[in-house]
């Protein structure tokens, strides 16, 4: 009888382990399915405002050709770099998304260019993937942890996370300072869709959030032949070493595991503009970190990067 119970428990453990591994592989495949060359359509429309005198803003629609490259592909980490192709003649480094399995270290956006660090309990992230989204200069944007879902032929990940204003509005709006993003990324037969249900919120210290407006968004990624993004592939081959130095430099900041506040400008320029000159000369990790530290308001980073 004891042998039967022991055998049953062992079988159950093996089955759970195998199922968990199979689930993880499905997750990894869904994430990697976001890589490739895409025609993208961005569509946003405001849907609701609690104040009757609020003036609904115009809908936003745009299109782009974009390459999503897997620059890290490991068992517990996948990093995807997005590159914009403009008029078939120019490439612009776009956003980056990192996916970390059962990650506990997360920076959550508060407001006013401040991110609050938290260490999640291990049981809270069991089987989950954290998506960390970065700006064009690899500074933080937003992050959140959730479970990939594979059911009825659908493959999607959903999360709610606070973020700074989107690029399409941060120079045009001052009536709100936090976007509460409802993110749903779903793999489709033609590519993938980033569906959003967003709250535009005014946040002040010691007060409750004030909802200004809500919006619906669809970023529709339609896969096209890889040859259309050859220019971006060639560009990345020429620039990837510099941006590896940038990521390593930022890791020196993120690995402090403390709250992070960044200045919006130094010498009248945002951080991405400072990177132009650094990229042109192929700056080292130490040189990049020196520039980043000028923007860090919190305790300076202790770094030993000589010779790198």
Averaged over 64-79, what is the pLDDT? 98
First to last CA, the chain: 63
- Identify which has the larger pLDDT, 185 or 303: 185
pTM of the predicted protein model: 0.90
CA dihedral 73, 74, 79, 80 (to 10 degrees): 20
Identify which of 116, 115, 119 has the alpha carbon closest to the alpha carbon of residue 135: 115
With a pLDDT cut of 70, the percent of the chain lying above it is 91
Contact indicator for 69, 240 with CB cutoff of 8 Å: no
Residue 138 has pLDDT above 50, yes or no: yes
Distances in Å between the alpha carbon of 289 and those of 111, 286, 304? 24, 5, 11
Averaged over 235-248, what is the pLDDT? 97
User: So what's the pLDDT on residue 17?
Assistant: 52
Domains in the chain, please, with CATH? 2-103+121-226 (2.40.128)
Note the Cα 256 to chain centre separation in Å: 20
User: So what's the pLDDT on residue 302?
Assistant: 46
- Using pLDDT thresholds of 50, 70 and 90, give the confidence band for residue 21: confident
- Identify which has the larger pLDDT, 257 or 301: 257
User: So what's the pLDDT on residue 170?
Assistant: 87
- Identify which has the larger pLDDT, 299 or 77: 77
67-71, 85-89, 191-195, 282-286: segment of lowest average pLDDT:
85-89
1-5, 58-62, 129-133, 269-273: segment of lowest average pLDDT:
1-5
User: So what's the pLDDT on residue 298?
Assistant: 75
């Amino acid at each position: 009888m004891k042998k039967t119970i022991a055998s049953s428990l062992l079988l159950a453990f093996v089955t759970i382990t195998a199922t968990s591994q199979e689930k993880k592989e499905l997750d990894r495949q869904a994430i990697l399915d976001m890589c490739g060359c895409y025609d993208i359509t961005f569509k946003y429309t405001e849907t609701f405002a609690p104040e009757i005198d609020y003036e609904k803003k115009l809908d936003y629609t745009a299109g782009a050709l974009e390459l999503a490259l897997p620059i890290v592909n490991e068992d517990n980490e996948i990093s995807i770099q997005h590159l914009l192709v403009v008029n078939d003649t120019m490439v612009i480094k776009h956003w980056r998304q990192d996916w970390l399995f059962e990650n506990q270290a997360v920076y959550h956006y508060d407001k006013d260019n401040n991110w609050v660090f938290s260490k999640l309990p291990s049981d809270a992230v069991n089987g989950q993937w954290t998506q960390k989204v970065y700006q064009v200069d690899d500074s933080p944007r937003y992050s959140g942890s959730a479970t990939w879902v594979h059911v009825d032929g659908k493959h999607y990940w959903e999360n709610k996370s606070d973020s700074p204003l989107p690029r399409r509005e941060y120079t045009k709006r001052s009536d709100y300072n936090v976007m509460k993003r409802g993110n749903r990324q779903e793999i489709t037969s033609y590519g993938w869709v980033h569906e959003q249900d967003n709250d535009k919120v005014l946040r002040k210290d010691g007060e409750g959030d004030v909802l200004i407006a809500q919006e619906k968004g669809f970023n529709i990624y339609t896969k096209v032949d890889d040859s259309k993004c050859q220019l971006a592939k060639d560009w990345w081959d020429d620039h990837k070493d510099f941006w590896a130095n940038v990521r390593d430099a930022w890791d020196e900041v993120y690995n402090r595991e403390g709250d992070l506040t960044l200045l919006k400008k130094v010498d009248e320029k945002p951080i991405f503009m400072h990177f132009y000159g650094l990229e042109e000369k192929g700056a080292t990790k130490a040189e990049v970190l020196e520039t980043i530290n000028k923007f860090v308001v919190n305790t300076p980073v202790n770094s030993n990067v000589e010779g790198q």
